[in-house]
Structures are given as structure tokens and as C-alpha cells.
Amino acid sequence: MSDFFKNKRIVVTGGAGFLGSYITEGLQKRGCKNILIPKIEDYNFVNLPDCARMYDDMKPDIVIHLAAVVGGIGANRQHPGKFFYENLMMGVQLIDQARLRKIEKFVAIGTVCSYPKFTPVPFKEDDIWNGYPEETNAPYGLAKKMLLVQSQSYRAEYGFNSIFLVPVNLYGPRDNFNPDSSHVIPALIKKCVDAIDAGDDHIVCWGTGSASREFIYVSDAAEGILLASERYNGTEPVNIGAGFEITIKDLVEKIVKLTGFKGQIRWDPSKPDGQPRRRLDVSRAKKLFGFEAQMTFDEGLKKTIDWFLENRPRAR
């Protein structure tokens, strides 16, 4: 590891969250002495004065912007306005205030939800504008994609160094297991474990199971973001992924087996499947800053389930 981060002041928005905790650990391993985590109780980035005050208080060299309002399909359908407005305003204001203060670098974290609904698989970064996102999470995906426009525009006009990374769905220990807002892997793990505890003979899963998804283990995603933060200073978006896909049906069967649930799986086709397929082309990240995911999916799932079983009282 280089000394790139050692003497820099790094603000990690969302640093107390799931991915943020792994970014913070990665920075500590790299010898970073000044990791600054703004808390939402002190700084609400939807409000411009709070953004400005954070920069004045913390005086960062680099900002890694992870803070976001996120959730699964249900949460996206319930709060499309909130997801659009708050994600857009946080990102736009943080980038603009960073530009005004001439900070060294801004690392904007996008989302795979920004890709068009029917993107050729694997998703290449050059295809990100070739269509409208899948409807259930389009407001969130489009709000995040505006940060790519802003990053590129500010680089062109002001010479501001802002990069845009596109991680695929994350999973791992310390994930959000709240069924009202969690993503598919923690939601399914909790569903199976709860069914075992309750003695239920079946679980109900949304959709048909035919959609496919790619998942990246959270520590791998953190490593990719930190490598890009250190080594990449380009204008083009870069995917952060593991380069594989699995159908939701196969995913459910894996989680059922690993949790030990013995009951029936029932599908509710009245609920949406979401985007038909998701798998990223990850060649650009390898070429530009040497990133490749390391965790196998089966091992990562087992680690996630084991963590949840050991930490259920305090799991989110």
C-alpha cells in the first residue's frame, strides 16, 4: 500500500453506514490519520448551509461521498420523490461546495440503478445513457446519474477533479436487515431465519425469480473505491463489480440452503421483478486502477449469514 492517504484529510459522507464502515477500515489500514465522518445529526446535506459548514469545519483534501437515501424495490416505490430529491440535492451541493473551495478531489458514488432498463449484458459504462432506467428505481438512479453530469461539466469548465464510480449491489456483514428498507440479500436472509424461528412451512418471495442480479462483497467494493480514489483521475464513469450474475430464484435457493430453512418457497408474481438482468463489465476498473473483486459469492453469503445469526439483537 502507498502513503497516498497518510497525511490527507478525508471526509467520508455516510462513513457510519454499511459501506462507509469498510471504507473507514480501509483508510485506517492505509495509515490515514485524518478520517472525518460527518453525522446527519450535525450536517444534513440536503440543506446548503450544512454542506458549507461541514467544509468549513472539516477542511477536507478529499471527499468520498457515500451518503444516500437507499432501499429495495419496495422503498423505491413508496418514496420516489424523497429518493430523487434528497440524493440529488446532497450530491449537487456537496460537489459545488467542494469546487468553490478547490478541494483536491471528490469521489462521487453512483449506482447500477442508473443504467437503462434494457442494457446489453454485461453493462458497459458507455451504455449508461442509452435508455431510461427501470421504472421502480428510476428516480434514485437518475438523481445519482446527475452527479456524473456535474462531475464531467465541472471538470470541463473549472478543471475540478471529480470522479464517478458505479458500484453494483452490495452485500456482507453489517448490512441493513430492516425488511422495510433492506436490499434483496439481507431481506431474504432475515425472511428465512425468521421463518425457521416461527416454525413456518413456507416463505413468500417477490416476483417470479427470473430476474438476475450481480452482487459484490462490501469489502471488495470498498477496496475498489479506495483504489480509484488514489489512482484514477479521469472523466469517464467506472463500474465497480464482481463480473457475474445469478437469478433471484437461484439466490433464494442458496440462502434457503445456507440458513437451513426446510419449508416451501412461494413466488408472488403480482410483485415486480425489477430490472430483468444486471451484470457489469468490470474491465475498465482493472485497466485503470488494477481492481478485481476477490470474495467468492458462496463464501461471502456464508459470512453474511453467520454475522447476522451472531448479531441479530443489534443488526439493523
Would you please indicate which residues are annotated as catalytic (active-site) residues?
Answer: 140
Three-state secondary structure string covering the chain: CCCCCCCCEEEEECCCCHHHHHHHHHHHHCCCCEEECCCCCCCCCCCHHHHHHHHHHHCCCEEEECCCCCCCHHHHHHCHHHHHHHHHHHHHHHHHHHHHCCCCEEEEECCHHHCECCCCCCECHHHCCCCCECHHHHHHHHHHHHHHHHHHHHHHHHCCCEEEEEECEEECCCCCCCCCCCCHHHHHHHHHHHHHHHCCCEEEEECCCCCEECEEEHHHHHHHHHHHHHHCCCCCCEEECCCCCEEHHHHHHHHHHHHCCCCEEEEECCCCCCCCCCCECCHHHHHHHCCCCCCCHHHHHHHHHHHHHHCCCCCC
Task: State which amino acid sits at residue 113.
Answer: C
Q: Which three cell numbers stand for residue 174?
A: 453489517
Q: Are 295 and 219 in contact (CB under 8 A)?
A: yes
Here the cell at position 69 is 437515501
Provide the grid cell at 247. 437469478
